[in-house]
């Protein structure tokens, strides 16, 4: 078995790159070394070896004994490998338990297809709802659709606008549907107009009472044509829809429930199910396209600068 074979094994088992694997094997065989000798032995340039050592030290694989002269040593190889195996075992054991739990539950469901099974989370506090929603907004890869019902729900939407606009500036499609004369819809429209005109951007900060300096800098760095292209994927509609929900990427659906008297947020269900999200997206397409809804459905004109 050649040293190259061993290096490949080290890379695979410890998930190291080529330079890291060379340092691991060299120090394991020869013991502690000066950085100059280690660079020569491993054929890693001096300009790069310090960064590689820093990363291995962060991973808990090497120890820096001294810096003048710069000497490093490998921690016990047997201990490193044992800890790696234990971590892998623990992670795979937890994943295995989740898989088996899912299979056991799925067997008890009366469904035509495995795709019909949804992972459902009940989010029963306003704080956790905002936290989960912010995370899903930031991870969105294709589109976000927000549907606001005729019955308003008291939610701190301002805390969601910063991650939302950062996501929009990444080119993610965004569709916002709310009842006619909705304050949130009008505010969204005004903000987008400000961004498109690249004027009065400081007004966004004053309007929302949130620090938007990063967003403003990001807007100013982009070419006006690129801004127009990005915001052409933003659609704002006036429409009457009874059920409030939010869709992400044909994957995730939030359905919101409120106190019928006080209009306060009560709880939300978060479904991870492709079929449900696609079905609701198709429903929205039907509502917006239907002639019956044409009297109460209108796309807002967004100024194009």
d(CA 269, CA 272): 10
Tell me, yes or no, whether 28 lies in a domain: yes
Given a contact cutoff of 8 angstroms between Cβ atoms, the answer to whether 234 and 302 are in contact is yes
Residues 60 and 202 in one domain: no
pLDDT the model gives residue 299: 65
Tell me which residue range forms the domain holding 57: 3-77
Q: Which helix (H) or strand (E) segment is 203 a member of?
A: helix 202-208
Which pLDDT value is given to residue 240?
84
- Cα–chain center distance at 207: 27
Clarify whether residues 214 and 271 are in a common domain.
Answer: yes
305 residues of the chain, pLDDT tens digit each: 788 888 999 998 899 999 999 999 999 999 999 999 999 999 999 989 999 999 999 999 999 999 889 999 999 999 999 998 898 889 888 888 877 877 776 676 665 666 666 678 899 888 999 999 999 999 999 999 999 887 777 777 777 877 888 888 888 999 999 888 788 788 778 777 776 666 556 666 665 555 556 666 666 677 777 777 887 888 888 888 888 999 999 889 999 988 877 778 889 999 988 888 999 999 998 888 874 444 555 665 544 43
The separation between the first and the last C-alpha atoms of the chain, rounded to the nearest angstrom, is 67
Q: Is residue 129 part of a domain?
A: yes
Residue 42: CATH number of its domain: 1.10.10.10
pLDDT of residue 303: 40
| Residue 97 falls inside a structural domain | no
Strand ranges, E, within the chain: 33-34, 62-67, 70-74, 119-123, 143-147, 173-178, 234-238, 245-248, 252-258, 265-272, 298-299
- Of 77, 107, 135, the last residue of a domain is 77
How far is the C-alpha of 209 from the C-alpha of 116, rounded, in Å? 43
Specify if 263 maps to a domain. yes
Cα separations (Å) of 199 from 154, 190, 238? 31, 12, 26
Q: Within a domain: residue 110? A: no
71 contacts 49 by C-beta, under 8 angstroms: no
State whether 183 and 291 are in the same domain: yes
Strand, helix or coil for residue 253 = strand
Domain identity same for 138 and 214: yes
Quick one: which of 223, 205, 227, 226 has its CA closest to 214?
A: 205
54 domain-assigned: yes
Distance CA 250, CA 140 (A): 10
Please count the structural domains in the chain: 2
Residue 279: count of CB within 10 angstroms of its CB: 12
Does 127 lie in the same domain as 230? yes
Domain end, chosen from 47, 77, 107, is at 77
Where does a domain end: 28, 53, 77?
Answer: 77
Q: Quick one: 205 and 276 in the same domain?
A: yes
Do residues 63 and 175 both lie within one domain?
no
Q: Is residue 272 located within the same domain as residue 169?
A: yes
Residues 137 and 20 in one domain: no
pLDDT of residue 120: 84
Specify if 100 maps to a domain.
no
Question: Burial, 199: exposed, middle or buried (Cβ in 10 Å; 0-12, 13-18, 19+)?
Answer: exposed
Angle of helix 224-231 versus helix 158-169 axis, rounded to 10: 120
The answer to whether residue 105 sits within a structural domain is: no
Residues 24 and 168 placed together within one structural domain of the fold: no
For the domain that residue 141 is a member of, what is the CATH number?
3.30.870.10
Residues 135 and 237 in one domain: yes
């Amino acid at each position: 078995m050649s040293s190259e074979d061993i290096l490949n094994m080290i890379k695979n088992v410890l998930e190291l790159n080529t330079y890291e694997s060379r340092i691991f094997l060299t120090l394991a065989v020869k013991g502690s070394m000066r950085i100059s000798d280690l660079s020569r032995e491993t054929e890693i340039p001096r300009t790069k070896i310090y960064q590689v050592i820093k990363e291995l030290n962060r991973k808990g694989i090497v120890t820096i004994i001294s810096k003048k002269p710069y000497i490093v040593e490998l921690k016990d190889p047997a201990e490193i490998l044992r800890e790696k195996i234990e971590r892998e075992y623990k992670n795979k054991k937890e994943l295995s338990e989740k898989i088996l739990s899912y299979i056991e539950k799925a067997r008890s469901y009366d469904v035509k297809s495995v795709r019909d099974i949804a992972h459902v989370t009940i989010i029963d506090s306003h704080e956790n709802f905002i936290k989960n929603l912010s995370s899903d907004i930031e991870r969105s890869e294709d589109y976000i659709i927000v549907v606001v019902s005729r019955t308003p729900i008291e939610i701190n939407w301002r805390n969601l606008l910063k991650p939302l606009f950062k996501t929009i500036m990444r080119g993610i499609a965004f569709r916002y549907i709310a009842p006619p004369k909705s304050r949130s819809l009008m505010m969204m429209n005004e903000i987008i107009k400000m961004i498109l005109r690249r004027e009065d951007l400081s007004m966004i900060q004053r309007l929302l009472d949130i620090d938007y300096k990063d967003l403003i800098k990001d807007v100013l760095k982009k070419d006006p044509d690129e801004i127009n292209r990005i915001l052409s994927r933003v659609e704002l509609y006036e429409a009457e829809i009874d059920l409030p929900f939010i869709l992400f990427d044909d994957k995730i659906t939030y359905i919101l429930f409120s106190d019928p008297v006080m209009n306060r947020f009560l709880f939300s269900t978060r479904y991870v199910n492709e079929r449900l999200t696609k079905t609701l997206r198709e429903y929205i397409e039907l509502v917006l396209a239907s002639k019956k809804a044409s009297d109460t459905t209108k796309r807002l004109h967004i100024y194009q600068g």
